[in-house]
């Protein structure tokens, strides 16, 4: 089976209508999609992404029960929220069995951008192989990088490239790269993979990595760089508004 | 000396005001910047870029004398124009000693986008080393890819990557890559360079290459893939409105 495979290095480089009928992987490696993977792996029942802080507070109030509020603005925990956007904050003790209402700057916006897709998955290096495995059953794939405030970031683009590379290696030789962003991301990833450098060192040079270091979240880069640490693939269900493990 | 080096994979990914005070290289490998290199190398005295067809006709009429009208729409020569956008059309016989008034879809638009820069150069694989040499004296560099109708193209991005790689190899170890697009372009280029594949074969897979093949301009890809065929660096002087050999 031939697969139609696109990469978009930023949400604004693809019209939402072009994602109709496709499997979309939303990518915000540092840190939203990595954090959602950790939250669900730690036993959170669902992660509810919200665009605005007020929207998150309202959603949490409506859900009632034991809900955790998580997320960031300018990288930092939001005032009155239970958790920030560091993946390691999301443990069995903090989120096990609970719903997390979550708002981040770029990740949430990108999820919303993908809402017309037929299926929306979340990926980061922590679940790379699981994402590739899951995609090996899809016919039309769009890898959608969040970037940072409208700027292309290498960490998201490199992960997209790793997925393209992974699909090609897993025997999907008939993978039709439907745009040049897919070629560029794959080839940039191959240089990084061939270099033998630790992924964490590469991520530290990327825009997102440098931002995190400046904000004192250096350790989150190491967490995000543990390839295949987890086997779950978070899936965003637009109708219910929740992201669950799939 | 440390250099501030940025890549923009599309004009719309950078605000024109951000180019103030910088040396900008406009890149439209298939085919506008390659063609301008050929035109000047063939002895054209100046190439005058125009955004619209009517603007080109008016400019040609105003210039009088022996002016050649060149350019394309949807890849093809414009009705009533002397030349299309194939680099090999621009010979000493056709353009030697003459002014060329030139309009292309993406290349001209990108030149206009860069008009606030302190210096505007044009690059393609045909003058790669000359561009790198010229840039080795610049303090702030932006490599501006034209893309095709708002889509990122690999041929332009790979050339940008080859320039970044070339600057780093020429001892500009202090080159500060000021955005992640510079890292991605460089690393994508390195995979292509390491593969040992002929550049023309790589360009045939890119969006611009596939468009040209579909339009019957396959030979132009081979012309654009002759690395360092020329030693000139075209320079666009906004005040005079002309591109000359520099």
Mean pLDDT over each residue of chain B, to the nearest integer: 95
DSSP states along B212-227:
HHHHT-HHHHHHHT-T
Q: What is the pLDDT of residue B174?
A: 56
Three-state DSSP class for residue A71: strand
Q: Given pLDDT bands bounded at 50, 70 and 90, which one contains residue B94?
A: very high
CA dist list (Å): A45 to A41, A175, A242, B63: 10, 34, 9, 72
Percent of chain B with pLDDT over 90: 91
Q: How far is residue B155's CA from residue B212's CA, in Å, rounded to a whole number?
A: 12
Task: Of B151, B42, B149, give the one whose Cα is nearest residue B86.
Answer: B42
Which residues on B lie below 8 Å from A205 (Cβ)? 183
Q: Report the C-alpha gap between B6 and B179 in whole angstroms.
A: 6
Contacts of B168 by beta carbon, 8 Å cutoff, 6+ apart: B175, B186
* Contact at CB, A187 and B183, closer than 8 angstroms: no
Query: What pLDDT is recorded for position A3?
Result: 83
pLDDT in tens, B196-226: 999 999 999 999 999 999 999 999 999 999 9
In Å, how far is B6's CA from the nearest CA of chain A?
12
pLDDT band at B170 (very low <50, low <70, confident <90, very high): confident
Residue for token pair 């889509």: B151
- How long, in residues, is chain B? 246
Q: Are A75 and A85 in contact (CB under 8 A)?
A: yes
Among residues A237, A25, A27, A246, the alpha carbon closest in space to that of A141 is found at A25
pLDDT of the residue at B173: 56
* DSSP label at residue A83: B
Find the helix packing angle between A154-169 and A207-215, rounded to 10°: 130
Dihedral Cα A141, A11, A72, A215, nearest 10 deg = 100
Measured CA to CA, the distance from residue B167 to residue B173 in angstroms comes to 8
User: What is the pLDDT averaged over residues B50-60?
Assistant: 96
Spatial separation of the C-alpha atoms in residues B233 and B136, rounded to whole Å: 13
Tokens at B1, concatenated: 């000396």
Instruction: Tell me the shortest Cα–Cα distance from A206 to chain B, in angstroms.
Output: 6
pTM above 0.80, yes or no: yes
Instruction: Dump pLDDT digits (tens) for A164-223.
Output: 999 999 875 556 788 999 999 999 999 999 999 999 999 999 999 999 999 999 999 999
For residue B186, what is the nearest residue in chain A, using CA coordinates? Answer: A188
- pLDDT of res. A66: 87
- How many angstroms separate the CA of residue A74 from the nearest CA in chain B? 19
The DSSP annotation for B125-149 comes to: GGGHHHHHHHHTT-SEEEEEE--BT
Name residues of chain A where pLDDT drops below 50: none
- Complex-level ipTM: 0.95
Query: Quick one: pLDDT at residue B1?
Result: 56
Backbone angles phi, psi at A151, to 5 degrees: -105, 140
Q: What is the pLDDT of residue A170?
A: 86
pLDDT of B82 above 70: yes
Cα B216 from Cα A63, distance rounded (Å):
61
The burial of B121, by beta-carbon neighbours within 10 Å (0-12 exposed, 13-18 middle, 19 or more buried), is given as buried
Residue B171's pLDDT band (boundaries 50, 70, 90)?
A: confident
Q: Is the pLDDT of residue B148 over 80?
A: yes
User: Which residues on A lie below 8 Å from B180 (Cβ)?
Assistant: 151-155, 157, 206-207
């Amino acid at each position: 089976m031939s697969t139609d495979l696109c990469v978009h290095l930023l949400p604004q480089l693809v019209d939402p209508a072009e994602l109709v009928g496709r499997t979309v992987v939303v990518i915000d490696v540092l840190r939203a999609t990595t954090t959602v993977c950790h939250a669900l792996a730690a036993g959170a029942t669902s992660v509810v992404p919200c665009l605005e802080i007020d929207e998150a507070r309202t959603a949490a109030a409506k859900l009632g029960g034991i809900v955790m509020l998580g997320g960031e603005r300018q990288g930092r925990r939001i005032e009155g929220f239970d958790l920030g956007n560091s993946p390691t904050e999301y443990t069995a003790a903090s989120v096990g069995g609970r719903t997390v209402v979550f708002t981040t700057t770029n990740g949430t916006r990108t999820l919303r951008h993908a809402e017309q897709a037929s299926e929306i998955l979340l990926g980061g290096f922590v679940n790379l192989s699981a994402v590739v495995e899951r995609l090996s059953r899809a016919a039309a794939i769009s890898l959608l990088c969040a970037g940072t405030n409208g700027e292309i970031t290498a960490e998201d683009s490199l992960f997209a490239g790793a997925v393209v590379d992974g699909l090609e290696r897993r025997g999907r030789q008939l993978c039709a790269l439907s745009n040049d962003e897919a070629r560029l991301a794959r080839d940039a990833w191959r240089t990084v993979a061939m270099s033998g450098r630790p992924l964490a060192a590469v991520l530290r040079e990327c825009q997102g990595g440098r931002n995190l270091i400046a904000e004192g979240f250096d350790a989150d880069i190491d967490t995000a760089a543990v390839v295949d640490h987890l086997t779950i693939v978070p899936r965003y269900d637009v109708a219910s508004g929740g992201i669950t493990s799939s």
